[in-house]
Structure 1
Amino acid sequence: MDHNRTDAGELAEYGYEQELRRTLSAWAVFALGFATISPVVGIYAVVQLGFVFAGPAWIWAVVVAFLGQLLVATVYAELSSQFPITGGVYQWVRRLGGPRLGWLVGWIYLASAVASLTTVAYLGASWLHMLVSDSELSPAAHVLLGVVFIAVALGINLLGVNPVKHFLNAGIVAEGVASIAVSVFLLLFARHHGFSILFDTLGSASASGGSAAAGFVTCLAVAGWAFLGFDATTQVAEEAEQPRRSVPRALLRSYVFVAFTVLLTSIAVTFALRRPEDAVSGKTVDPVFEAVTQGLGGWSEKPFIVVVLIAFFACAISIQTYIGRAVYAFARDRQLPCSTQLAKVGDRQIPWVSLTVTAVLAGLGLLLGFNGNAAATLISFGSGGFYFVFLTVALVALIARLRGRWNPSEGDFRLGRTGPVINVLAVAWLLFEAVNIAWPRAELAPPSGSWIQVWAVVLVFSALLVLGLAYVVAARPHTRLAADLPTVPSTEEVKAH
């Protein structure tokens, strides 16, 4: 295929002009995906809850979540190769399932992405506090430090694409030190348990009414958070060189590499904890930090915190990068209020208005932190929305594939005959996990939380769905798609080139 046509001329077939500069190499796209999924953020967000609900056996929930999400990532890779357009899931569903459904999926996706930025900022705030103080972190200070996180991520993004690339590279280095290097050291020199401990729950079933199976299923709901963000690469398709090739490859490579790192860290931490039962009881609040400082010695506390912070900041920066592009793609099609402003591209060729607005919304989400420990609620909220989107995208792709509306033969990444099988398995996995995450669990709400927090995922996304449907009926955004925005270039048109 003629790459000049692919990179410069192909957008015209979808009705768009090239507004964003194509400066992202295959490595830069990989770095964005890696930093967004982030093994450091993923593992540190779920390890504490994993121990509480499943004990050392929590690692098998991570394995199951990895395999399930690998199916989804493969379907996404094929879609991203066929449709190399900024907007990702919104663009795919709009073309394969219709503009109304595309709008609703894009709406839920944006809400989930903003929630994920809020969650990363909230979790990162704890590490920022650990760097400067040994005192207990109050809810108000937690929220304030979270705002600092979001403000820094926004500031870096507003500088332009090149500074973002440098920070993401720093994040990869930090992830390598904090996850891979430290994990290898712990496995070689600080191991206190053998492989058999990975099959022990250490009495964690008490947190789930005495049922080890229920505890594992709850842990699986939490483990899903560790494998979100691989679709970030699809949001920069119009800034990537040779996107039909580079985007799907970066998506899968970043996902597999992060998954390997998460599993390595999970095993190393579990083996290195001297008293894993304290992590199950909650006496050890941060099993990762405990394992590292015990294994390396007290001198390692501050350096390790700095490395982890760099990884958290890189993750926040990358999330904000792809959210800004997602809003830009939505607004470019006049699908949002104030679309003209949201679609503005500044002198640095970045959607600066979209970046700013989403940062403000993510900051408002931090207000949940005033009501005690909001980590579990935020993780469930962000995961629930993404898994709803994953399920819808996979289902729409499967239906379009079976009805012959989608023939994935135009991209550089193709699954061939295995495509339908992988697609069916992905839908089955997502149907289970979406229900599992949304299932109301008192144990995932703050100790003093109300029934509203127990039902947070169901209530919030029901409200978002109702609001989205009301907007579609009242404002009819799908009718604003101009005639020069074709659904998808036909196979004949593509072959003609």
Structure 2
Amino acid sequence: MSTSISPERNDSDAAHLASLGYQSEFKRDMTPWANFSLGFTYLSPVVGVYSLFAYALATGGPPMIWSFVIVGVGQFLVALIFSEVVAQYPVVGGVYPWARRLWGRRYAWMTGWVYLVALLVTIASVVYGAGPYIAATFGFTATVDTAIICSLAILAVATIVNFMGTKVLATAAIIGFTAEIIGALAVGGWLLLTHRYHGLDVLFDSFGAGGGGSYMWAFAAAGLIGVYQYYGFEACGDVAEEVPDPGRLIPKAMRRTIYIGGAAATFVCLALVLSVADIPAVIAGQDTDPVSTLLDQAFGPVASKIVLAIVLISFLSCAMSLQAAASRLAYSYGRDDMIMGSRFLKKFSQKRHVPPYALLVAAVVPAVIVIGSKVSENALAKVISFAALGIYLAFQMVVLAALRARLKGWQPSGKYRLGRWGLPVNIAALVYGVIAMVNMSWPRTPGAPWYDNYIVPLSGAVVIAIGAVYMLVHRTYGRSDAPYDDAIPKKTNV
């Protein structure tokens, strides 16, 4: 595939951006394939499925796999709304500039704040989650100290890749996507061909998961594996100023991330479910790590190391893509003079064509969170609990802003438009998002202290409260003169 970009294309993209009030310093070196790969590696089917498979199978049994279908449809609706917005406003930073143009400065500040905190926490959770796999790959005991060292090593590699510029990031994203999709197909295919213990009918058998109560509650809890899987498509829009013809290509990349990433995740999960020999043992808590057990049985000690190496590449690629998204958001904040430290966040390296200080934020904050696990792993778990809720909340703040703007007269004018389907899709996307957030926040540990039982909504409330206090004390957003609230047609006096 040719990566050359015609001068006419560059001029057209620059003119569109100028009409939105910006002159970009980024280079449009990210091909459509690389843009899709960035979203795919952020979504990361391998990381999502391998991290939550044991919990989901133990909680809901094999039928938990259907959550991938349900959530995939819901998030596809969200991606359609995002596609309309990014096509009209292809500005670096994603949800923050979208909310800014759809609603206003204060609303955008809070949307971006929630999303930025969630991204930084997610980076920490991904690199920390890679620790046990690194230990298994290289044959040492996983401890808190080794987990921290491994996490910081992965974070350092991801940061170096990001500092090398858009072209290197794009190449790394493609390599990560290739390794992950080949690994998913190869591992899943091998398991289904050589190690399958069950037929498809098992996907309708709960094996008694959920106890004697209604299975719906067990399925809702286990369905978090699907809820936590389907985000990453928005990263395609976070780098909008690094993609040629973004109004046309980014919506395509977002949609492909959903259905290709979702299909890969579902396939991996299907292969694992059908290949677990003793599902009742997993549900009973006798086998707490069915993935490692299965890989050792199916591949043996040598081949399983190769599989684990592919898994590690997936963790690295995911961290790298998350860091790229977080740094572009922080840079976007700084460029609009919206937050304390903006003069550093908006600095740009003309040599590498990246925002260096924004990238440092996306490296240092996750590193501090990871190092904090030395003091308390329980505290780390509480911090990480906000990650998925924060991302979903930021998504729904954009969906809500789009619905409000649409009802006030906004007519999407980008290269991608839903037309008459816009309003019903927008409403359905919002309804889905609210249900998903309620499911994430639902208390499910009645024996735990109340603050642990409600840790997810409490963590969300704390992040929002801190943001609100900052906005009250330090009204930086009010000094920003970058364009805002221009999606809705303004009434003119005749």
TM-score (normalised: structure 2): 0.92
Number of the residue aligned with 2:4: none
Matched, 1:213 2:219: no
> Residues 319 and 212 (structure 1 numbering): CA distance in 2 closer, same or farther, change over 3 Å?
same
What one-letter code is carried by the residue in structure 1 that aligns with 2:483? Answer: L
1:295 is displaced (CA, Å) by 2.6
Structure 1, gaps ≥5 residues long: 493-497
Match of 1:407 among 406, 411, 414: 411
Does structure 1 residue 461 correspond to structure 2 residue 460? yes
Q: What's the offset of the Cα at 1:379?
A: 5.8
2:396 is matched with which residue?
391
1:205-246, Cα deviation, whole Å (9 max, x unpaired) = 14xx84422111112234311111110011110011111011
How far off its partner does 1:473 sit?
2.2
Q: How does 1:87-98 map to 2 (within 5 A)?
A: 87-98=93-104
CA shift, 1:487, in A, is: 4.2
Distance 1:146 1:87 in 2: 26
Aligned partners of 1:100, 1:82: CA distance in 2, in Å? 21
> Counterparts of 1:411 and 1:152 in 2: how far apart (Å)?
37
Match 2:331 to one of 328, 333, 347: 328
Whichever residue aligns with residue 113 of structure 1, its letter is L
Number of the residue aligned with 1:106? 112
Distance 1:489 1:396 in 2: 10
| Conserved 8 A contact 1:14-1:487 | no
Counterparts of 2:302 and 2:383 in 1: how far apart (Å)? 32
Establish whether residue 421 from structure 1 lines up as the match of residue 424 from structure 2.
Answer: yes
> Which of 34, 44, 49 is residue 40 of structure 2 equivalent to?
34
Q: How many residues align?
A: 481
Quote the residue 1:300 is aligned against: 303
Q: Is contact 2:102-2:484 (8 Å) kept?
A: no
Give 1:141 shift: 2.4
Residue 183 in structure 1 maps to residue 169 in structure 2: no
Structure 2 partner of 1:81: 87
Q: Residue type matched to 2:46 in 1?
A: V
Q: Where does 1:441-452 land on structure 2 (aligned, <5 Å)?
A: 441-442=444-445, 451-452=450-451
Root-mean-square deviation (Å):
2.2
Aligned to 1:288: 291
State how far apart, in whole Å, the 1-side matches of 2:424 and 2:451 are: 39
User: Counterpart of 1:343?
Assistant: 346
1:360 aligns with 2:367: no
1:495 is matched with none
Report how far residue 151 of structure 1 moved.
1.7
Counterparts of residues 10-409 of structure 1 (less than 5 Å): 10-135=16-141, 137-206=142-211, 210-346=213-349, 347-367=351-371, 369-370=373-374, 371-372=376-377, 377=382, 380-404=385-409, 406-408=410-412
Change (3 A) 1:63 1:375: farther
* 3-state SS in 2 of match to 1:230: coil
The question of whether the paired residues in 2 share the 8 Å contact of 1:54 and 1:215 is answered with yes
State the Cα distance separating 1:197 from its structure 2 match. Answer: 0.9
- Residue of structure 2 equivalent to 1:485: 483
Classify the secondary structure of the residue corresponding to 1:191: coil
| Secondary structure, counterpart of 2:241 in structure 1 | coil
Q: Tell whether the 8 Å contact from 2:161 to 2:320 is kept in structure 1 after alignment.
A: yes
- Report the Cα offset of residue 388 of structure 1: 1.1
Assess, with a 3 A threshold, how the Cα gap between structure 1 residues 178 and 139 changes in structure 2: closer, same or farther. Answer: same
Q: Please say which of residues 210-219 and 107-116 is displaced more in the overlay.
A: 210-219
Task: Give 1:9 deviation, angstroms.
Answer: 1.7
1:168-219 Cα shifts (integer Å, max 9, x gaps): 122112112221122122222321101111112223214xx84422111112
Tell me the distance in 1 between the aligned counterparts of 2:248 and 2:383: 34
Deviates more, 1:41-50 or 1:260-269: 41-50
Q: Which amino acid aligns with 1:475?
A: H
- Say if 1:222 and 1:379, in contact at 8 Å, map to a contact too: no
- Structure 2: which amino acid aligns with 1:238? E
Deviation of 1:79 after TM superposition, in Å, equals: 1.2
In the TM superposition, what whole-angstrom CA distance separates every residue of 1:403-435 from its partner, at most 9, and x where no partner exists?
Answer: 21x211x21111111111111111111111112
CA–CA separation in structure 1 for the residues paired with 2:337 and 2:267: 45
The AA in structure 2 aligned to 1:438 is: S
**C-alpha contact (below 8 Å) 2:101/2:487 kept by paired residues:** no
Name structure 2 gaps, 5 residues minimum: 1-7
Q: Whole-Å Cα distance in 2 between the matches of residues 441 and 365 of structure 1?
A: 25
Q: Is the 8 A contact 2:46 2:314 kept in 1?
A: yes
The 1:64–1:197 alpha-carbon spacing in structure 2 relative to 1, beyond 3 Å, is same
Q: Please give the secondary structure, in 2, of the residue aligned with 1:129.
A: helix
Shift of residue 374, structure 1, vs aligned partner: 7.8
Following superposition, the deviation at residue 292 of structure 1 comes to 3.3
Cα 1:367–1:134 change in 2 (3 A) is closer
What is the CA–CA distance in structure 1 between the aligned matches of 2:330 and 2:485, rounded to whole Å?
A: 19
Could you tell me the percent identity over the aligned residues? 32
Match of 2:13 in 1: 7
1:346-378: per-residue Cα shift (whole Å, max 9, x none)? 121101111111211112222564445789756
Asked if 1 retains the 8 angstrom alpha-carbon contact of 2:93 and 2:332, the reply is yes
